[in-house]
């Protein structure tokens, strides 16, 4: 019996080699793996001696040989296969331990195209696929995490357990190959050039449950991209839930719409309070004041360091998760007094280029909504002041993250009312305006007004300026209504539906 070892990641390879030596299984090896094992004193046969064929093209061709793939692929219970093995002088290779060139990891280094191409593995995937296809007879190991289980099953397992292990390992190979090939495809193709969906994700962990306790869930990380949430670190508290992850995505994106200190309080994937301020405490207090009821049990995001004073204020209520770029040591000591509070850091800014939504039998892919507006065009007789225009832009950035139909009303860079997820715009406006209790000065809408009713409702609640995309057939009716009430209105030319 022979084992073929050819690994880039040499973690655990010595224990595996020890095992094969004790089981009197001959070890074949290539390149760096051969050199590594020989230096440690193992008896190893160099693969080119086994094949009687030298490595060529600076190592690009070394395992692509009939003696290798014939020895892996022949079916041990087929007479024709056994005859071919005998006639062609092939030897059985019953164990294949291979891991790949680090194409995934090298993507993070932003190498030149030609340099990155050299990390596309050919021989490794070919050996893994061959061994996985012949799993009824061949053990295939593509991850060092499998070594320990393999050695136990091989020594102590029943035939059924051994077969089950080989089948699972084969499945893991093709799972890996799908991700690996997708990463290469994404490197070479634009989204428009793809014929098939190519998405590379690695499972991070299974979650306790999904949106509800009866739903199973897992979290995966994108392999061939950076991604803000890949840089999350849990400093204290319970593991994150499915809903936590969804909420964190929105909270982190909201606060990074702004260069000024910002706090976003979020509940059920929708902002309930967003504010700018002088520091973490200032913007948190404003976000809290925006909706002191909904913030309870929510997720809080910051784009600035959390201080002790801010931590003490947050500890006055029950919160699920806090995410920030950093915390002072004193702030961490305060927050860690609440054992179940999840305290997170995130070091990367949002960088997603695509959004994906899975349907029943379909996958929708679109560009991430990264823009804010095409223009800022005043369409009314009343012109907004510079300060009012800044307030309007603040409100419009927030409304981008509220479920459609979405209305946000603000004052002093602080949300006072948020209406989202309504099936008509006037109901969303009425809800947001009623929450503001006549204190708001700016109203933002994620899409145009089909009727002037939102303007009339805004006027009744003291709104001084409105920002919306424009583009309705009845824009003129809304403009005339604004002029009648002395309200300034600005068109952005860009809507932000969030279904």
Q: What is the CATH number of the domain that holds 467?
A: 3.40.140.20
Instruction: Give the tens place of pLDDT for each residue, 192-219.
Output: 888 877 788 888 999 999 999 999 999 9
The answer to whether the beta carbons of residues 380 and 487 sit under 8 Å apart is yes
Among residues 193, 222, 250, the one where a domain terminates is 193
Among residues 346, 363, 395, the one where a domain terminates is 346
Residues 340 and 395 reside in one and the same domain: no
Q: Note whether residue 213 is domain-resident.
A: no
Q: What is the CATH number of the domain that holds 20?
A: 3.40.50.1380
Residue 323, domain extent:
230-346
Cα–Cα distance, 161 to 153 (Å, whole number): 7
pLDDT of residue 123: 87
- 313 catalytic residue (yes or no): no
In terms of phi and psi (left: phi > 0; alpha: psi -120 to 50; beta: otherwise), the region of 190 is beta
The answer to whether the beta carbons of residues 494 and 373 sit under 8 Å apart is yes
Q: Note whether residue 73 is domain-resident.
A: yes
Q: Note whether residue 356 is domain-resident.
A: no
Residues 37 and 157 reside in one and the same domain: yes
Residues 332 and 457 reside in one and the same domain: no
The residue from 10, 46, 106, 133 that is catalytic is 133
| Residue 298 backbone phi and psi in degrees, to 5 | -95, -175
| Torsion 89-93-97-102 (CA) sign | positive
Residues 248 and 188 reside in one and the same domain: no
Q: Note whether residue 369 is domain-resident.
A: no
pLDDT of residue 63: 73
Q: Note whether residue 359 is domain-resident.
A: no
Q: Note whether residue 117 is domain-resident.
A: yes
Identify the helix (H) or strand (E) that includes residue 430: helix 425-436
pLDDT of residue 186: 86
Residues 106 and 173 reside in one and the same domain: yes
User: Count of domains in the chain?
Assistant: 3
pLDDT of residue 101: 87
The residue from 10, 268, 338, 411 that is catalytic is 268
Here the contacts of 207-210 (C-beta below 8 Å, separation 24 or greater) are 207/239, 207/240, 207/241, 207/242, 208/239, 208/241, 209/241, 209/242, 210/242
- 133 catalytic residue (yes or no): yes
Q: Note whether residue 220 is domain-resident.
A: no
pLDDT of residue 196: 79
Residues 382 and 323 reside in one and the same domain: no
pLDDT of residue 121: 86
* pTM, full prediction: 0.85
Q: What is the pLDDT along the chain (499 residues), one digit of tens a residue?
A: 999 999 999 999 999 999 999 999 999 998 889 999 999 999 999 988 888 887 777 777 777 788 888 999 999 999 998 899 899 888 999 999 999 888 888 888 888 999 999 888 888 899 999 999 999 999 999 999 999 999 999 999 999 999 999 999 999 999 999 988 988 988 888 878 888 777 888 889 999 999 999 999 999 998 876 789 999 999 999 999 999 999 999 999 999 999 999 999 999 999 999 999 999 999 999 999 999 999 999 999 999 999 999 999 999 999 999 999 999 999 999 999 999 999 999 999 998 888 999 999 998 989 999 999 999 999 999 999 999 999 999 999 999 999 999 999 999 999 999 999 999 999 999 999 999 999 999 999 999 999 999 999 999 999 999 999 999 999 999 999 999 999 999 999 999 999 9
Q: Note whether residue 396 is domain-resident.
A: yes
Residues 304 and 411 reside in one and the same domain: no
Among residues 174, 193, 212, the one where a domain terminates is 193
């Amino acid at each position: 019996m022979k084992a073929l070892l050819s690994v880039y990641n040499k973690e655990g390879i010595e224990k595996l080699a020890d095992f094969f030596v004790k089981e009197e299984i001959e070890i074949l090896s290539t390149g760096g793996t051969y050199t590594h094992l020989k230096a440690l004193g193992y008896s190893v046969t160099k693969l080119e001696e086994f094949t009687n064929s030298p490595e060529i093209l600076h190592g690009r061709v070394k395992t692509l040989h009939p003696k290798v793939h014939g020895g892996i692929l022949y079916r041990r219970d087929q007479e024709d296969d056994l005859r071919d093995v005998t006639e062609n002088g092939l030897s059985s290779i019953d164990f294949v331990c291979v891991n790949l060139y680090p194409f995934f990891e090298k993507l993070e280094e932003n190498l030149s195209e030609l340099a990155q191409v050299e990390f596309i593995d050919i021989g490794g995937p070919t050996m893994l696929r061959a061994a996985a296809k012949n799993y009824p007879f061949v053990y295939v190991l593509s991850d060092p995490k499998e070594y320990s289980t393999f050695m136990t099953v091989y020594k102590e397992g029943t035939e059924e357990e051994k077969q089950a292990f080989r089948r699972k390992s084969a499945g893991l190979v093709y799972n890996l190959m799908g991700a690996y090939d997708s990463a290469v495809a994404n490197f070479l193709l634009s989204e428009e050039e793809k014929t098939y969906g190519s998405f590379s994700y690695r499972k991070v962990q299974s979650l306790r449950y999904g949106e509800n306790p009866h739903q199973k869930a897992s979290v995966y990380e994108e392999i061939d991209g950076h991604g803000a949430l890949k840089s999350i670190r849990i400093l204290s508290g319970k593991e994150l839930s499915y809903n936590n992850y969804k909420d964190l995505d929105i909270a982190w994106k909201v606060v990074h719409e702004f260069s000024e200190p910002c706090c976003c309080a979020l509940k059920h994937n929708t902002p309930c309070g967003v504010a700018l301020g002088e520091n973490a405490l200032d913007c948190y207090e404003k976000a809290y004041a925006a909706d002191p009821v909904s913030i309870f049990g929510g997720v809080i995001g910051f784009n600035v360091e959390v201080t002790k004073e801010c931590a003490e204020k947050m500890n006055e209520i029950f919160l699920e998760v806090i995410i920030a770029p950093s915390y002072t040591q004193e702030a961490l000591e305060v927050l860690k007094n609440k054992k179940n509070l999840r305290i997170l850091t995130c070091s990367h800014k949002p960088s997603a280029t695509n959004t994906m939504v899975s349907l029943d039998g379909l996958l929708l892919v679109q560009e991430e909504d990264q823009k804010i507006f095409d223009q800022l065009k005043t369409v009314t007789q009343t012109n907004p002041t510079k300060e009012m225009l800044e307030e309007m832009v603040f409100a419009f950035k927030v409304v981008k993250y509220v479920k459609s139909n979405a209305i946000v009303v603000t004052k002093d860079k602080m949300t006072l009312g948020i209406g989202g997820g309504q099936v008509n715009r006037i109901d969303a406006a009425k809800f947001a305006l009623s929450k503001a209790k006549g204190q708001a000065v700016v109203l933002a809408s994620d899409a145009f007004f089909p009727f002037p009713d939102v303007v009339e409702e805004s006027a009744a609640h003291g709104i001084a300026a409105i920002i919306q995309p424009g583009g309705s057939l009845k824009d003129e009716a809304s403009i005339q209504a604004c002029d009648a009430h002395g309200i300034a209105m600005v068109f952005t030319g860009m809507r932000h539906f969030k279904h």
